[in-house]
């Protein structure tokens, strides 16, 4: 597995990134690398540890952040927003159009995961989501062209 610096050397400026911080405490190093390669507008920092999002946003509010929401609700959305989330990610089993619309009214984009079948794609699109995380990009890309 390449180190972050090696990955950025190869791909920065060529593709967008979603970097997940699974363990709090490395935010400063990640931000330094994002800034060093000048990809603040190309990266999304993901974490289920919302304090990580606060630590990313505090020194650099330009960086887009995504909060995993295990239980989507108005309260969890407000909490994610208080930590600087721009995007929330919810499991397909928890997807409800009313929640997506509420998030949109609050200016938050919504990702749903894992969307791997045609039925799941249509359900996600019907719910008005903004992003899909999938293990089957061919199926998804064929349907959303």
The pLDDT of 71-91, averaged and rounded, is 97
The CA distances from residue 113 to 6, 116, 128, in Å, are 28, 9, 14
Same domain, 31 and 90: no
Phi, psi of 31 (to 5 degrees): -60, -45
> What is the chain's mean pLDDT, rounded?
95
- Angle between helix 50-57 and helix 74-82 axes, rounded to 10 deg: 40
pTM over 0.85: yes
Same domain, 102 and 128: yes
DSSP, collapsed to helix, strand or coil, labels residue 121 as helix
Same domain, 80 and 111: yes
Give me the number of domains the chain comprises: 2
The pLDDT of 98-118, averaged and rounded, is 97
Beta-carbon contacts of residue 97 (< 8 Å; ≥ 6 apart): 126, 127, 128
Q: Identify the pLDDT of residue 2.
A: 80
Q: What is the pLDDT of residues 3-36, one digit of tens each?
A: 899 999 988 989 888 999 999 999 999 999 999 9
Same domain, 145 and 74: yes
Beta-carbon contacts of residue 87 (< 8 Å; ≥ 6 apart): 44, 64, 65, 66, 67, 108, 109, 110, 111, 130, 131
The domain of 38 spans: 1-67
Same domain, 100 and 122: yes
The pLDDT of 33-58, averaged and rounded, is 95
Provide the token pair at 56: 């990313």
Same domain, 38 and 16: yes
């Amino acid at each position: 597995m390449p180190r972050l610096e090696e990955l950025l050397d190869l791909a920065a400026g060529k593709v967008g990134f979603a970097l997940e911080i699974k363990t709090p405490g490395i935010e400063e190093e990640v931000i330094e690398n994002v800034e060093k390669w000048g990809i603040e507008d190309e990266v999304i920092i993901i974490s289920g540890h919302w304090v990580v999002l606060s630590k990313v946003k505090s020194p650099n509010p330009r960086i887009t952040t995504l909060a995993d929401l295990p239980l989507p609700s108005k309260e969890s959305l407000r909490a994610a927003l208080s930590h600087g989330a721009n995007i929330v990610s919810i499991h397909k089993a928890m997807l409800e159009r009313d929640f997506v619309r509420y998030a949109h009214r609050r200016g938050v984009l919504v990702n749903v995961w894992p969307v791997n079948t045609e039925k799941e794609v249509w359900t996600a699109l019907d719910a008005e989501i903004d992003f899909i995380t999938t293990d089957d990009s061919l199926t998804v890309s064929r349907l959303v062209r």
